[in-house]
Structure 1
């Protein structure tokens, strides 16, 4: 883990150095001391798109850029204009000198990917907070979206909320997490511990499988059984075969 973290930090540092040669980001104060305006020196939104306001991470599902900025701890909201990005921090105790380097890096990293700033075809994830959610369910979804899913997605997987029943959070593992041997450990030691720390109503976390997952697991179990039977047959044949002189 330490090696991976060191390599990732070194790569990000080298990437930022390369991008700074072709991209210079400026920041400007706004009337709100908790908001800063960032100018990347290039177009952010096409003129026909106007402006886009993302008051929380749930509303940012159509913007890869906004989602990347929300992954920075302390970011409260993101506003996109034609040539600027306004970021608002959560409260006065968070210092801009701490946030600004991460915001600069996130903006430069995003524009190096050539992804669209706005993806209107993106579908709202099922784990997003809805008006019908009770307070506990909304808090669970908020933690999943802001603290847990970004980390899991970096490893090629995802975790989506299914339901919250009798103190048990039902989650579905996707992507690389589906077949990962450590997925149960991730659920119990990682996700469950974090949810229980912030939300006392959570008693546990369970993985939910759909019909496709169940069918795949059943076929795999049948394959394992068949393989074990063939190995046993080979052992019996070796025992019963006459020894060579």
Structure 2
């Protein structure tokens, strides 16, 4: 299968999500309500209501406000007036958050790899179906992958990401450079290129949110070699994350991947061995 078609499948697929493996706390990520014409205040809802939002929103006519009934009371954490505007391209939609996006000029992110300098663009690319992101002074234009992706399904997540981001106070653009280990070189074969893209767009962002990072170290005889950093390097569940999360995702999209192996440097190996000995001594005393 060509690299481009596999990458397209990756961006469009809903079958596998690494977040479901290790991100239980994401069940409380907010979603939102809105009118189809975009002329409404946006309210925040817990993620457990996402299915209700999406199911009912599919039946909305323009100008109608979606209402969700639940026995649990919902207190709005923050509100934001977000409007949407059609563009000549039916696969692109303009989102106007009512606040300044860029001080001046524009910035185009045609793919996830180009979003290394924008926390907001990174977050938007993690939404299923998002193909491109474009910033202007007062708007964010989202381009979806194809006609099969429905704006009615994507809008709640896009609204939630925009609200979360501007509430965080983070800068829209930073001086961050792309991760060197996942830069795709001309001499990389198709399999290595796909591994790097998956790591950079789907796996690394989740690991970084937990205070760590994951570094690509090589691919030999079907084995992907990775190094865990930060909080993940000494985390007891790091092996589970590698096997149940990272390995499963890589194998799902890339049949050539047979296994994932954690690389540990010499200093870390010594530290781990000393810790193991200390733990054994403590267990004997108890």
User: So what's the TM-score if we normalise by structure 2?
Assistant: 0.70
In structure 2, the residue matched to 1:147 is: 202
Deviation at 1:196, TM superposition (A): 1.2
Q: 1:24 aligns with which of 58, 74, 81?
A: 81
Q: Which residue of 2 aligns with 1:171?
A: 226
**Which residue among 161, 166, 181 is the counterpart of 1:111?**
166
1:122 aligns with 2:181: no
**CA offset digits 1:140-188 (Å, max 9, x no partner):** 1222223222332333322222222222111111222111112112212
Residue 160 in structure 1 maps to residue 212 in structure 2: no
Q: What secondary structure is seen at the aligned counterpart in 2 of 1:24?
A: strand
Separation of aligned partners in 2, 1:25 and 1:16: 19
Structure 1 segment 222-233 matched on structure 2, within 5 A: 222=274, 224-225=276-277
- Partner-residue secondary structure (3-state), 2:260: strand
The equivalent residue for 1:241 is none
Q: Higher mean Cα deviation, 127-136 or 25-34?
A: 127-136
User: Is residue 58–residue 128 contact of structure 1 (8 Å, CA) maintained in 2?
Assistant: no
Gaps spanning 5+ residues in structure 2: where?
1-21, 32-43, 47-73
Q: Distance in 2 between matches of 1:231 and 1:72?
A: 46
Alpha-carbon distance between aligned partners in 2 of 1:160 and 1:197, rounded to the nearest angstrom: 20
Name the residue aligned to 2:94: 37
Deviation at 1:67, TM superposition (A): 0.5
Q: Name the CA shift for 1:162/1:31 in 2 (closer, same or farther; >3 Å).
A: same
Higher percent of residues as helix: 1
Distance change in 2, residues 1:171/1:93 (3 Å): same
- Give the aligned partner of residue 13 of structure 1: 45
CA distance in 2, matches of 1:138, 1:43: 36
Higher relative CO (Cα under 8 Å, sequence separation at least 6) belongs to: 2
CA contact (8 A) 2:132 2:142 kept: yes
**C-alpha RMSD of the superposition:** 2.9
> 2-side partners of 1:194 and 1:33: how far apart?
31
Match of 1:242 in 2: none
1:215 and 2:263 matched? no
Larger-Rg structure: 1
Q: Would you say the 8 A contact 2:191–2:254 is kept in 1?
A: yes
| TM-score, structure 1 normalization | 0.81
- Name the counterpart of 2:136: 81
Query: Aligned to 1:194, what secondary structure does the other structure show?
Result: helix
CA contact (8 A) 1:36 1:86 kept: yes
